[in-house]
């Protein structure tokens, strides 16, 4: 009985590997990306690319484990939810009110340490924000909300 159960589980695990996730990037105009629209300083752009873009843009870099079901399904759902909540690739099409709200959320969530998510940081240690990076990102979001132009240092 145990042998049949184990074989059944192995069969199911092998069979689900054929159910692949869609890794194609949604179409978006590069001119609508936040880095272009807001003329983001390179330091802040680097932080956003390293710590945010995999879940909050159309420029996701899928890791090796995105090829292993059912982990791939969870990952794809997480990315879809992240893009739905905030998509830096589509920043230019957001209303001013939505931009302001998203900048406020960036400020609050980053400052509280809620973003990037712990589950993302388990494997992507380079995405962990230092205290200095946290301050930079929070100050940038606050300045942008206030309408201040953030210039390159």
Domain boundaries, the chain: 2-146
pLDDT at 151: 52
The pLDDT of residue 50 is: 96
Those residues of the chain that have pLDDT short of 70 are 148-153
- pLDDT of 21 reads 87
pLDDT number for residue 14:
80
Buried b (16+ CB within 10 A) or exposed e, 86-123: bbbbbbbebeeeebeebbeebbebbeeeebbeeebeee
């Amino acid at each position: 009985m145990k042998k049949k159960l184990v074989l059944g589980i192995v069969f199911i695990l092998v069979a689900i590997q054929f159910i692949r996730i869609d890794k194609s990037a949604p179409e978006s105009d590069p001119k609508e990306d936040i880095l272009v629209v807001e003329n983001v300083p390179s330091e802040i752009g680097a932080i956003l690319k390293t710590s945010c873009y995999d879940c909050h843009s159309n420029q996701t870099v899928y890791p090796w484990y995105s090829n292993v079901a059912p982990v791939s399904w969870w990952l794809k759902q997480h990315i879809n939810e992240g893009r739905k909540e905030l998509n830096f690739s589509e920043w230019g099409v957001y209303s001013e009110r939505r931009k302001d709200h998203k900048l406020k959320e960036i400020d609050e969530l980053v400052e509280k340490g809620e973003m990037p998510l712990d589950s993302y940081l388990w494997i992507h240690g380079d995405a962990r924000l230092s205290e200095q990076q946290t301050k930079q990102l929070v100050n940038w979001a606050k300045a942008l909300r206030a309408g201040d132009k953030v210039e390159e240092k």
